[in-house]
Structures are given as structure tokens and as C-alpha cells.
Structure 1
Amino acid sequence: MANLLYLSTSQIRFYEKKGLLTPHHKDENGYRLYSYKEIDILEFITTLRNTGVSIPEIKEFMYRKTDNNLIEILDNTTEKVELEIKKLTSQIDTLSNFKKHLIRNSSSFSEVIHCSERILYIIDEDMTVERYEKDVYDFVSKYSIDYRYHEQQFLTLLEGKAQKLCLFSKDKNKGLEKLETHTLEQGDYFTCNTEIKNYQELNKAYTYVYQQCTKAGYTPIGQAITIEDIHTLLLSKKSIHLTVQIRIK
């Protein structure tokens, strides 16, 4: 029977232990013998298992044996499978976006993109002062920030000689409302990728974007900003990868 239904003998014994299948006869040597009835039952079990129906649900149907009961089980399983499809589709979208961002952030190309108004929450007024892990923990705890949330970006804003560290999050967070904010106006932004050895070289990144912007024939206005998110951080093994932007006329 195992060969007939492409199962292992251990799988058949598993269904026996679960009370779903009983051999037609056991001979004096302990061999299990099956009739067409058990073969049909086992084929039915494996068909339901392959579609995601659970062992308890199969057992419930086999003991009650009403069509309505089976229809309810199939409907429940269909709903579970549909939810799983949504989950897997979401995972595929995330993987695709991840790949797209990594390819984009690892290249040195520049482009002009239109950005809507962005509200930045000022985390640190002076990026040049060294901070420690405990400082980060205290900050995220105080303002109820999810450190794992990937749809947020850390932006460093060049304002005069100061380098302000800011957070941009697509989600509304009441905790962040306690922080001072800075608004990045909507408009066209010249955007390029670069890398630095350490954060003391941020001015080097700002100089680079100004040079590339004017070289491309655009007039920069406003402050330059650097952007870091999960995609750029993953590339920063030997050096710090940054996306740099500046608003243009």
C-alpha cells in the first residue's frame, strides 16, 4: 500500500496511531494487511492532508461522516490557505522591494525625484557628539519607537555647521509628537549615493552631492540631507553607504 500511494510505511503507521486508519487484518507475523476500503480511506486522508486539512479535522469528519461537516472543514481550510497566500504574496513583495532598494543603493547613479513634504523628528541636535548603546535604548523607550521597524529612515540634516540627526517615519507615533520637528518642503530633489569611512566625513558627503548636482546642471537650494535605512545599512560593511539629497530649482 505504501508503494501504491507513494507513502512511507512510517506515514501509514502515523495515521494508524492517530486513529485515522486500522489495518484490515494483522497476520501471525505482525504484517498489516489492507483491503480496498483501507486503501480508499488512506487516499482520502492524504488528499485532505495535501490540501492543508489538519489531522483533528479529518478525524472529526471521519467519526461524524456528514457532508455538511466536510463542507465546513473545507471552507475553513480554504480560508486558512487564502490567508497564507496573502502572507506569502506580502513576503514576495517585501523581497522584491528589498532587492530593488539594494540594487539601487549599491549603485553610484544619480537621479531627480519628486518628494512630498516630509516631517522629520529631531533626535539629536548635534551628531558630532558620541552616543552610546544605552543612549539609544533610553531614547527608543522614552518615545515608544519600534527599533525593528524598517519603514523608517534616519536622516542627517546639515544646518549651518550643525549636523542634526532626525527620524522620518511613515507611521503616526504619538510618542514622536513630543519631539521638535523639521519640515522638508515638497519638491524636486537631486539624489545620489556615496560612501564614507566614518561619520566624521559627513561633510564630504554633502560636498559630493553639491558637486554632482551642479555638474548635472541643477541649482541646489536648501539643506543637504543624508539618508540611512535598513537597505543602506546592510551594504555598510567596509564603509558607510549613504543616500544624499538636496532640493533643486
Structure 2
Amino acid sequence: MRIGELAKRSGLATSAIRFYETKGLLPPAKRGLNGYRDYPAETVAVLAIIADAQQAGFSLEEIKQILPADISSWRHEELMDTLRRKVADIEAMQARLKESKAHIESLIRLIEAKPDDMGCRENASRVMASLGLSKGK
């Protein structure tokens, strides 16, 4: 199948397909006498795997490491280890994001706790002092 048809079937731009090929995620396409790329039908599935993996947070290098040369011959243990590591990475990121969210929400509450008779400049000094960031420190 030519690259235009592959692009239509995969929903990806031809430039993305060429990019994945240059990065080694796709084997080089065979070329006809006319120079056109000719891709096997299973390339559509490989491109779907690449797109799904990217959306799940895998880098192109990680995807390249787990994609088999032949789509019918996955390296099961390596694939499972990589997937488990990605889940652990996501869980660690979720924990960091939860901490960041809590810190920001605490800061919002601190700023909003400004006494009615206090101006913004004084409130900023109050907030900075409560965070241990006052000018005297």
C-alpha cells in the first residue's frame, strides 16, 4: 500500500509516517521501480500501536524498544516489564501532582485569608512571611 493510502487508513499525516520510519519505528518501506514507498497491510496496526503508546505517555525511544521487528513476535516479558514500569511512572507522577495540587490549594487559601482591612502589599508580605520567605530571612 502506498503512503497516501496508509495515511488515510491510519489517520496520520504522511509526514508522521515518514518520521516514524526515519526514527526506526517502522521498517523501511519497500520501494517500487517508480520510487514510491510500498507498505505492508500490518503497518496500519503498527501505527495504531505507536499512536496509542504515545498517548499513554511512552517516548518514541521506549516504543522503539518494545516494538518487535515482526508484529506477530512480541517479546512478552520485556513488553510486560516495560508496561509495568510505565504504570509505576504514572503512579509516581500522580502522587507528585497530588502534592503540587495540595500545595497550590493551600497557597490559595492563605492568600484568600487576607483580612478585609489589609491591602494587597501587606497581604503579600504576610503570605511571604508565613511561607518563610520574608525579606528579613
**TM-score, with length taken from structure 1:** 0.41
Q: CA deviation at 1:195?
A: 4.2
Aligned sequence identity (%) = 26
What is the correspondence of 1:154-193 to structure 2 with a 5 Å cutoff?
Answer: none
Deviation per residue, 1:129-187 (Å, 9 max, x gap): xxxxxxxxxxxxxxxxxxxxxxxxxxxxxxxxxxxxxxxxxxxxxxxxxxxxxxxxxxx
Mapping 1:58-77, distance limit 5 Å? 58-61=63-66, 62-63=68-69, 65-77=74-86
Q: 1:104 to 1:34 in 2, by over 3 A?
A: same
Structure 2 match to 1:86: 95
Q: State which of 111, 126, 133 in structure 2 corresponds to 1:228.
A: 126
Runs of 5+ in structure 1 lacking a partner? 109-192, 199-226, 234-249
Relative contact order, higher structure (CA 8 A, sep 6+) = 1
Report the 3-state secondary structure (helix = DSSP H, G, I; strand = E; otherwise coil) of the residue aligned with 1:194: coil
Q: Distance in 1 between matches of 2:91 and 2:120?
A: 46
State the TM-score, normalized to the length of structure 2.
0.68
Identify the residue that residue 60 of structure 2 maps to in structure 1: 55
The Cα RMSD (Å) is 3.1
| Contact 1:23 1:38 (8 Å CA) reproduced | no
> How far does residue 25 in structure 1 lie from its aligned partner after superposition?
3.1
Higher strand share: 1
Q: Deviations over 1:8-67 (max 9, x none)?
A: 322222211111103543344543332321111111122222112232332222258311
Equivalent pair of 1:16/1:22 in contact (CA under 8 Å): yes
The one-letter code of the counterpart of 2:24 is: G
Provide the C-alpha distance between the structure 2 equivalents of 1:58 and 1:196, rounded to a whole number of angstroms. Answer: 50
Which residue in 2 is equivalent to 1:194?
118
Q: Which amino acid aligns with 1:229?
A: V
Which 4+ stretches in 1 moved above 4 angstroms?
Answer: 195-198
1:12 and 2:17 aligned: yes
**Residue number among 40, 44, 69 corresponding to 1:39 in the alignment:** 44
Q: Indicate how the Cα distance of structure 1 residues 43 and 97 shifts in structure 2: closer, same or farther if over 3 A, else same.
A: same
Contact kept, 8 Å, 2:25 with 2:64, in 1: the verdict is yes
Deviations 1:186-221 (CA, angstroms, capped at 9, x unpaired): xxxxxxx634989xxxxxxxxxxxxxxxxxxxxxxx
Deviation for aligned residue 1:228: 2.5
Distance 1:71 1:194, change over 3 A: same
Conservation of the 8 A alpha-carbon contact between 1:24 and 1:34: yes
Describe the SS at the equivalent of 1:3.
Answer: helix
Tell me if the contact between 1:24 and 1:38 (Cα under 8 Å) persists in the aligned partners. Answer: no
- Which residue in the other structure is 2:135 paired with? none
Letter in 2 for 1:76: R
How far 1:231 sits from its partner (Å)? 8.2
CA distance, structure 2, for counterparts of residue 196 and residue 13 of structure 1 = 55
SS in 2 for 1:228: helix
